Structure 1
């Protein structure tokens, strides 16, 4: 397979002009048949006669996270579970005066099978030592290098700050009973497909009503109960931070993707502590209501922390 290099070289820094075409894609991976390595899926697009990573444009109202899962399924027939954020590329579209941005995630195959379709006629699996030569574009090779910087096989823990619940000073009564406001309920619903994209299976929440209500739509979708954990409330965390941190570590599992719903004075400190303990750098994050930290682990060690802001609307990109 020859390199075609027909697509413009990518600019890997944010350009001064805002991208007006938004897309998302993935490094789709699986264990080799003998489980003696990792393989990455490349797709051949007959329209361009190239070999690339699966990707596609955002549909109206989609987030990059949702687009990634949908586009991978449409182009490859594979259902995937997202993991680490791998960065983005931006490049001009020749002849259109438009700038395209593509965000990428690692995506492990869960099930499914490839069938030829109008966009992709061939899918080939490559081992890591061969994939670079098979790719047509330098920008794809850069994303694959980002993928290869950490182990492919990671486990995920999702930390969610509760959605909007109005001002505490305006609520009459026990603050732990303060409910989500209308905008917060919308955030909670919007979180569901985004958290499912990372394979969410179980939910643990701080007891305040606004924390529980933030993950209730997800619990209903999954058909599971929300487990309450007082250590993840602001008061519980302040009283016993070491116990809360141990509890969070204990929730990291290779068998489940757990979601923790907590508060603004808990999540930043917990993530900073974890990053310091395991020696990683954190991306900038405002930790706004309804935002999510995607924590990736290998062998129980935190290897990556990606921040997804607010309800992950199309213009709210992960920072990294």
Structure 2
């Protein structure tokens, strides 16, 4: 059984409070979570369960942890995200009869289950309000061997358009406000719908195309950090010859251990960075640059069948 949930947080007097819910059916205190509906992605499930159990709409942040345990003899996995409460209020419902907003330490003491405390500890390991980039590989395009025109113009296939449509639903869960892309038709069309929904122009990033990146990878990394350092979250669409190198280099710079760097078409890396101190520029010492502290890979934007 697959499920998803979140550590729902809000700012309170310069600190962070966590929502802990009481489920009358089990008489326990837990983090909001629930099982996936048919045709639902794990991130969408996390956001929906937060809304249903707490009454709060949320914006997802970094991936926290997957917890596995057994319920009634059946194996269950729950994927947890950080999630900021942005609107709403709690009303007792069929699942939850009480909600408490508490500092992290108090929330941990109240939680019934050790696995929830483990998830909350992971949340508390880093600042709640991190910078975030959604690094997307373009969706499926027609085969290069069957395309006789300029490869920059190779369009999405039917399967690629389905992936692009799914991304249009998936990516807003993290509330991006900007859309950047390598200047390739297949990259632009992968995120065009997201940009249209946001009513923003697409910013082309030559440094993040394969031809623009490899002559000077350091310049490509700096450009991605420049995009990340802006206040609003960003979608960045690039190519399979760039993304693994970018993620690996950023992880090594930040001391973040990743065992592999997959990059399927239509996939997303959710990259979270520390905020630079004060006004930041590329002329500053690298120690002051945004640092990658979390990298989570989503293999497909398509919902669960």
User: What is the TM-score when the length of structure 2 is the normalising length?
Assistant: 0.91
CA distance in 2, matches of 1:303, 1:254: 17
Shift of residue 274, structure 1, vs aligned partner: 1.0
2:153 aligned partner: 177
Does structure 1 residue 76 correspond to structure 2 residue 66?
no
2:294 aligned partner: 304
Kept after mapping to 1: 8 A contact 2:244/2:262? no
1:200-229 residue CA offsets vs partner (Å, 9 max, x unmatched): 111001111000010012112222221111
Secondary structure at the counterpart of residue 256 of structure 1: coil
1:252-303 residue CA offsets vs partner (Å, 9 max, x unmatched): 1452110110001111111111111121112534211111111111122211
2:9 aligned partner: 29
Which segments of 5 or more consecutive residues in structure 1 lack a partner in the other structure? 1-20, 316-320
2:283 aligned partner: none
Give the 3 Å change call, closer, same or farther, for CA 25–276 of structure 1 in structure 2: same
Shift of residue 240, structure 1, vs aligned partner: 2.8
Give the 3 Å change call, closer, same or farther, for CA 256–283 of structure 1 in structure 2: farther
CA distance in 2, matches of 1:286, 1:303: 18
2:284 aligned partner: none
CA distance in 2, matches of 1:268, 1:161: 10
User: What is the TM-score when the length of structure 1 is the normalising length?
Assistant: 0.87
What pairs up with 1:131-280 in 2 under 5 angstroms? 131-253=107-229, 255-280=231-256
Kept after mapping to 2: 8 A contact 1:43/1:122? yes
Q: Identify the match of residue 32 of structure 2 among 54, 72, 76.
A: 54
Kept after mapping to 2: 8 A contact 1:283/1:306? no
Q: Any runs of at least 4 consecutive aligned residues in structure 1 with deviations exceeding 3 A, and if so which?
A: 312-315
Shift of residue 312, structure 1, vs aligned partner: 5.1
1:85 aligned partner: 63
CA distance in 2, matches of 1:285, 1:269: 8
Q: CA RMSD in A?
A: 1.4
* Count of aligned pairs between the two proteins: 291
